[in-house]
Amino acid sequence: MTVVVTVLKDPRVAETLASLLAQTRLPDEVLVDDGGITDVVRTITERFHAQDPRVRYLYAPGNIPESRNIAIAAATGEVVAFLDADEVAPPGWLAALLVPFSDLTVGFAGGPTPGRPGTVRTVGARYYDGYLQRFYETVARHSPHALPMGNSAFRKAALDRVGPLDTTLYRKAASEDQEIADRILKAGFRGVYVPDAWVHHDFSELSVPALLRKQRIYAEGGYVVWRRRGTTYEATGGRVFPYVALPVLAVVGALLLVDPVTRFAGAVVALVGVGGLGFLALWLTITGLREDARYPGLRYRALEIPRRWATLYGAFRGFLTYGWSGRRGSDGAHPGKP
């Protein structure tokens, strides 16, 4: 059983490695999948290797899927688990994550990533933490291809069958986890959500602007996967419509205000748009407060408005870069498809 820790210039990997060596079910090997550039990760890894030779440094330059492909090829375990350097696993994490693999039809499994205590300080971090907890329970549980790769495990045989992670996706946030999970599901394997296999995620740097930037980047990668694979897990027409229609009405109304002939109509249209956005923010806040006890942080659910706008902006950027097919600007290679 192999655990791959994906890292780039992040000294927090020391805490990740310490948590892996404290597991009730120890991994057979830990590959520190280093994107390179500095020696900080190598130095930390060598210190842990001296303590336990199962921890090995792996120089794997490239973007995330390129780096992970190197790690997958080097892994010797029948199951390959993935963690990120900003995650810390409790002692029972690996044992819980491996339980579904007793069923040979299971190709991959994953668990939630709640915020690490002491790091959920900003409004953006609090909302994202609550949003993620709700997302895992209401979306990922039923749509396993939505499980992020950071806190997941894949059967090596399933990875071998469908081919490597796609390296032709959006380089900054490739959504390679969603893409390969979809291929594995369509190859006849199952994906399983394991709520007990949780890891703490460091949200200390997640301000509201950082959250929106992260969402825009993810959406740009998600757009490419949607156009190539025809799969998504969150953005549907009905869910997106109010976030598009209401600001459009506000802008159109403002433009109509310029001409005296259309000023009254413009005032009505603008009022509908602005008032609608206000009502939407109020409704999100009320529903968020109702769920806040179960998913702490959802009291800030009005942030869903700018988060959706960031999603749409990212998808639009994806369209401009990759076209409607999702392939413009790539080399056309796509693992798992002719």
Please say if the pLDDT value at position 335 is more than 50: no
pLDDT band of residue 18 (cuts 50, 70, 90) is very high
Least confident of 87-91, 120-124, 326-330: 326-330
- Domain membership of residue 332 (yes or no) is no
- Which comes out higher in pLDDT, residue 338 or 96? 96
- Domain membership of residue 176 (yes or no) is yes
Residue 131 structural domain: 2-205
pLDDT for 168: 86
Please say if the pLDDT value at position 328 is more than 90: no
Place of tokens 């609608």: 276
Q: Are 216 and 313 in contact (CB under 8 A)?
A: yes
pLDDT band of residue 329 (cuts 50, 70, 90) is low
- Domain membership of residue 135 (yes or no) is yes
Helix (H, G, I), strand (E, B) or coil at 7: strand
Place of tokens 């097919």: 325
pLDDT for 128: 97
Please say if the pLDDT value at position 161 is more than 50: yes
Please tell me the distance from the alpha carbon of residue 111 to that of residue 140, in angstroms, as a whole number. 9
pLDDT band of residue 338 (cuts 50, 70, 90) is very low
pLDDT band of residue 27 (cuts 50, 70, 90) is very high
- Domain membership of residue 116 (yes or no) is yes
- Domain membership of residue 232 (yes or no) is no
Pairing of strands 2-7, 29-34: parallel
- Domain membership of residue 104 (yes or no) is yes
Q: Are 178 and 222 in contact (CB under 8 A)?
A: yes
Range 206-229 average pLDDT: 92
Q: What pLDDT, in 10s, does the model give residues 220-270?
A: 888 999 999 888 766 666 678 899 999 999 999 999 999 999 999 999 999
Token pair, residue 258, equals 């310029």
CATH number, domain containing residue 192:
3.90.550.10
Q: What pLDDT, in 10s, does the model give residues 275-327?
A: 999 999 999 999 999 999 999 999 999 999 999 999 999 999 999 999 999 98
pLDDT for 139: 92
Domain count, the chain: 1
Please say if the pLDDT value at position 332 is more than 80: no
- Domain membership of residue 127 (yes or no) is yes
pLDDT for 36: 80
Please tell me the distance from the alpha carbon of residue 198 to that of residue 96, in angstroms, as a whole number. 9
pLDDT for 173: 63
Q: What pLDDT, in 10s, does the model give residues 29-82?
A: 999 999 887 789 999 999 999 999 999 999 999 888 999 999 999 999 999 999
pLDDT for 148: 93
Place of tokens 């190709």: 107
Please tell me the distance from the alpha carbon of residue 85 to that of residue 64, in angstroms, as a whole number. 13
Helix (H, G, I), strand (E, B) or coil at 16: helix
Q: Is 258 exposed, middle or buried (0-12, 13-18, 19+ CB in 10 A)?
A: exposed
- Domain membership of residue 338 (yes or no) is no
Cβ count near 327 (within 10 Å): 16
Q: Are 301 and 128 in contact (CB under 8 A)?
A: no
pLDDT for 236: 63
Round the average pLDDT of the chain to a whole number and report it: 92
φ and ψ of 85, to 5 deg: -70, -10
